[in-house]
């Protein structure tokens, strides 16, 4: 087959009846269903989402690169991604075309290294606030405390994000309500996508209206913080160095104008959502893996002791702690929070002989590529050494894409890696982390890949 004129290859198709029969299983946990389809039919397969919506599912790195990078102009996000805008607004994550590009150009500089370095202290403060009560409780209880790690990491990552955006601490009740509203709407949205046949009933039973009200409440909470900031500044308060200030200070290159309050609200809400749940899930899986693999935890601790001695890490220390980064990279391979991404063909196209007619919905199955035995030796094994400098990567481009790829790659990837590295190091400086329950927590793939069941671990104080 020549690269210039590849033969047209008919795409394997999961029969519609099989798609429909599996739609309930797919709604519960799509990962085993998708794996089974791809194992049976090949790396790219066509199926019916919920037995209704035709879709092309792929774990082929080449095709993923084609839609995300090489020919990205032809592949905007699909209605699956845009639909969430109903609950989140039109921010970077949900917008498209020239509006997206203008916003990306405006916001990208806000994530430069100096800002990240400036946010490090704030992150360390939040981590300290999360760990200190646990250390105190462990000390009272003879040296250890039981932790449900997904809850702890969600609260920590949410606080890090909320403080990075808004600086001033929100009340605990507001934080919790905000997190709850985001979770409720996300779960509802995913249900409407995976079980489209339920939509008429959800409409009739007032579920859509209810969730619209929750979205209004969420926006109200965020708006309150924006207005508070504007009032403080009008009264001459100094400007904090946080992401909200970055959004308020940003000026469009062509007009010199700032964003409207609605735009700032949309972008702030998107940062909160995109930035906390992804990291929270990655960190939860990280603790599960390290508790399962104490030798790996010991290796991270040895590295941090050698580099930091007894002190906390600063931003400048992080590059000197490569093994902690490898542990994160391997966690993101095994449990990529953004486990699937969707795009839709705007015009007729083809890839390596595979016709991709206008309107084709394509799901880039990141989890599938990260677990493909053809690409990864013993793909289910937790082996941070894979990402070592001395271990040349053998995978093709786009075999590993926890932060996506192409122009819509995650804007917060450095932010996330910094935050996660700090959580990892600060926790291991204080605690040994032990597994309480041998069972795998299971997967709950919503928009992000959560653990299905609680992950209960024992945090044992290292000193005192
Ligand atoms: C482990 C943590 C994270 C993971 C795995 C992750 C993953 C991703 C992925 C895969 C995309 C691309 C989605 C697509 O192309 O369809 C994305 C986009 C995005 N992420 Fe992240 N993310 C993480 C953390 C963060 C953080 C901390 C922030 C904010 C501080 C953030 C903000 C965003 C935004 C705004 C976008 C949309 C960018 C655009 O379309 O221009 N993410 N993220």
Q: Name which residue sits closest to atom 20 of ligand 1, judged by CA.
A: 410
pLDDT of 19 over the 90 cut = no
Q: What band does 9 get if pLDDT is binned at 50, 70 and 90?
A: low
Model confidence pLDDT, tens digit, residues 121-177: 999 999 999 999 999 999 999 999 999 999 999 999 999 998 899 886 567 788 888
What is the length of the chain? Answer: 464
pLDDT for residue 392: 75
pLDDT of 1 over the 50 cut = no
Q: Name which residue sits closest to atom 9 of ligand 1, judged by CA.
A: 403
Check if the beta carbon of residue 107 is closer than 8 Å to that of residue 411: yes
For residue 125, what is the enclosing H or E element? helix 113-140
pLDDT of 423 over the 50 cut = yes
pLDDT for residue 214: 96
So what's the ipTM on this one? 0.99
pLDDT of 316 over the 90 cut = yes
Average the pLDDT over 39-60 and give the result: 88
413 alpha carbon – ligand 1 mean position (Å): 7
Q: Name which residue sits closest to atom 13 of ligand 1, judged by CA.
A: 404
Check if the beta carbon of residue 401 is closer than 8 Å to that of residue 368: no
Domain boundary assignment for the chain: 16-461
83 alpha carbon – ligand 1 mean position (Å): 17
pLDDT for residue 215: 95
pLDDT for residue 3: 41
Q: Name which residue sits closest to atom 18 of ligand 1, judged by CA.
A: 410
411 alpha carbon – ligand 1 mean position (Å): 6
234 alpha carbon – ligand 1 mean position (Å): 32
pLDDT for residue 145: 97
Q: What band does 2 get if pLDDT is binned at 50, 70 and 90?
A: very low
Q: What band does 4 get if pLDDT is binned at 50, 70 and 90?
A: very low
Q: What band does 62 get if pLDDT is binned at 50, 70 and 90?
A: very high
Q: Which residues line ligand 1 (CB under 6 A)?
A: 77, 92-93, 104, 270-271, 274-275, 278-279, 282, 337-338, 341, 402-404, 408, 410-412, 415-416
- Which among 412, 415, 416, 422 is the best mutation to test ligand 1's pocket, defined by most ligand atoms within 8 Å of the CB? 412
- Which among 162, 274, 328, 415 is the best mutation to test ligand 1's pocket, defined by most ligand atoms within 8 Å of the CB? 274
Query: Measured from the CA of 111, which atom of ligand 1 is nearest?
Result: 30
pLDDT of 7 over the 60 cut = no
Q: What band does 178 get if pLDDT is binned at 50, 70 and 90?
A: confident
Binding positions for heme: 410
Q: Name which residue sits closest to atom 41 of ligand 1, judged by CA.
A: 408
pLDDT for residue 23: 76
What is the Cα–Cα distance from 132 to 112, expressed in whole angstroms? 30
- Report DSSP state, residue 352: T
270 alpha carbon – ligand 1 mean position (Å): 10
What is the Cα–Cα distance from 268 to 275, expressed in whole angstroms? 10
Q: What band does 10 get if pLDDT is binned at 50, 70 and 90?
A: low
CATH 3.10.180.10 describes domain 16-461: no
What is the Cα–Cα distance from 239 to 227, expressed in whole angstroms? 14
52 alpha carbon – ligand 1 mean position (Å): 29
Average the pLDDT over 343-352 and give the result: 96
Give SS3 for 343: strand
pLDDT of 386 over the 60 cut = yes
C-alpha torsion sign, points 204, 90, 119, 223: negative
pLDDT for residue 37: 92
From start to end of 361-401, where are the E strands? 361-364
Q: Which residues pair with 147 in a beta bridge?
A: 457
Percentage of the chain with pLDDT > 90?
71
């Amino acid at each position: 087959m020549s690269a210039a004129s590849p033969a047209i290859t008919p795409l394997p198709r999961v029969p519609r009846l099989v798609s429909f029969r599996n739609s309930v299983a797919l709604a519960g946990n799509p990962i085993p269903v998708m794996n089974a389809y791809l194992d049976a039919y090949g790396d790219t397969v066509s199926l019916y989402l919920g037995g209704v919506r035709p879709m092309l599912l792929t774990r082929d790195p080449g095709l993923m690169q084609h839609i995300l990078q090489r020919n990205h102009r032809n592949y905007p996000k699909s209605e699956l991604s845009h639909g969430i805008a109903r609950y989140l607004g039109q921010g970077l994550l949900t917008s498209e075309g020239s509006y997206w590009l203008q916003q990306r150009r405006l916001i990208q500089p806000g994530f430069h290294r100096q800002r990240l370095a400036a946010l490090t202290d704030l992150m360390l403060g939040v981590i300290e606030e999360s760990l200190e009560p646990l250390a105190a409780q462990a000390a009272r209880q003879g040296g250890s405390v039981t932790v449900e790690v997904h809850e702890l990491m969600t609260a920590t990552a949410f606080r890090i994000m909320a403080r990075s955006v808004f600086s001033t601490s929100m009340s605990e009740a507001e934080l919790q309500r905000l997190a709850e509203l985001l979770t409720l709407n996300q779960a509802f949205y995913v249900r409407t996508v995976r079980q489209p046949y339920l939509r008429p009933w959800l409409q009739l039973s007032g579920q859509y209206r209810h969730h619209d009200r929750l979205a209004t409440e969420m926006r109200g909470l965020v708006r309150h913080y924006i207005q508070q900031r504007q009032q403080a500044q009008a009264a001459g308060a100094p400007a904090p160095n946080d992401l909200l200030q970055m959004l308020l200070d940003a000026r469009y290159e062509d007009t010199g104008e700032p964003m409207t309050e609605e735009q700032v609200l949309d972008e702030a809400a998107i940062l909160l959502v995109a930035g906390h749940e992804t990291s929270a899930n990655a960190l939860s899986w990280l603790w599960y893996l390290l508790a399962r693999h104490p030798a790996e935890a010991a290796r991270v601790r040895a590295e941090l002791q050698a580099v930091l001695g007894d002190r906390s890490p600063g931003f400048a220390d992080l590059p000197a702690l490569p093994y902690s980064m490898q542990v994160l990279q391997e966690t993101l391979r095994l449990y990529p929070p953004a486990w699937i991404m969707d795009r839709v063909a705007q015009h007729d196209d083809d890839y390596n002989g595979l016709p991709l007619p206008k309107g084709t919905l394509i799901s880039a199955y990141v989890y599938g590529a990260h677990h493909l035995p053809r690409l990864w030796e013993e793909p289910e094994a937790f082996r941070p050494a894979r990402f070592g400098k001395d271990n040349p990567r053998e995978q093709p481009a786009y075999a590993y894409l926890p932060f996506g790829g192409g122009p819509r790659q995650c804007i917060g990837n450095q932010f996330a890696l910094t935050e996660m590295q700090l959580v990892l190091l600060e926790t291991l400086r204080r605690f040994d982390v032990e597994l309480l329950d041998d069972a795998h927590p299971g997967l709950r793939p919503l928009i992000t890949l959560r653990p299905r069941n609680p992950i209960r671990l024992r945090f044992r104080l290292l000193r005192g």
